[in-house]
Amino acid sequence: MVETASQSGSSQSSQAQQGLDLATHEFRAPDKTIITPEHVEMFKASVGCTELVGFITALVNACKSTRMTATPLTENLTPLHNLLEQLSVWIDEVPPIDQPMRFGNRAYRTWMDKVIASSDEKLRELSTIPNFERALPEIKVYWEESFGSYERIDYGTGHELNFIAFLFCLYK
């Protein structure tokens, strides 16, 4: 269940500012718990929502009036950049299937199989911080859910939010 802002204490706020202790934090694969309108309201009042919106706002503000070519790739971002470049390589390796196009192209599943098969290895390469691998069960779900529905072969705002949640996890 989501903790509301009124339930949170100052110790949680100070922990969020300092980052997680990867050695002791209990990571778990996320699951869907925001199902009803009441759940949405609880989430909107939560510390997690406040932090996520703040993270998105910070990303937007960091990009304002900045040309992509004017921003050098930092050492910390290089592994993530390389991972995204690998996705692009796989797109080139998996051409669309000639098929009726009422729904998404089935070649997506071949591409997504590559993403899923490589997730553990590729995500481990994102950080050399001690105990980072302990976070992988949680981070991996957001990563794999960032690229659309394997079953329906579709993509929507929920998938985009998973990518933001993935980035937020890396940030935390």
> What pLDDT was estimated at residue 71?
78
> What pLDDT was estimated at residue 54?
98
**Does residue 2 fall inside a structural domain?**
no
Q: Strand, helix or coil at 106?
A: coil
Q: Strand, helix or coil at 154?
A: strand
> What pLDDT was estimated at residue 22?
94
Whether the pLDDT of residue 16 is over 60: the answer is: no
**Does residue 1 fall inside a structural domain?**
no
Print the domain residue range for 101: 10-171
> What pLDDT was estimated at residue 18?
60
pLDDT in tens, 137-164: 999 999 999 999 999 898 888 899 999 9
pLDDT in tens, 67-124: 877 778 899 999 999 999 999 999 999 999 998 877 789 999 999 999 999 999 999 9
Task: Indicate the residue type of 96.
Answer: P
- Mind giving me the DSSP string for 52-91? HHHHHHHHHHHHTT--GGGSPPPTTTHHHHHHHHHHHHHH
> What pLDDT was estimated at residue 11?
38
Q: Strand, helix or coil at 157?
A: helix
Q: How far is CA 142 from CA 37, 40, 62, in A?
A: 22, 19, 23
What's the chain's average pLDDT? 88
Number of structural domains the chain divides into: 1
Burial class (CB in 10 A: 0-12, 13-18, 19+), 64: exposed
Distance, in Å, from the CA atom of 54 to the CA atom of 151, rounded to the nearest integer, reads: 32
pTM comes to: 0.84
Q: Are 8 and 50 in contact (CB under 8 A)?
A: no
> What pLDDT was estimated at residue 123?
97
> What pLDDT was estimated at residue 100?
87
**Does residue 5 fall inside a structural domain?**
no
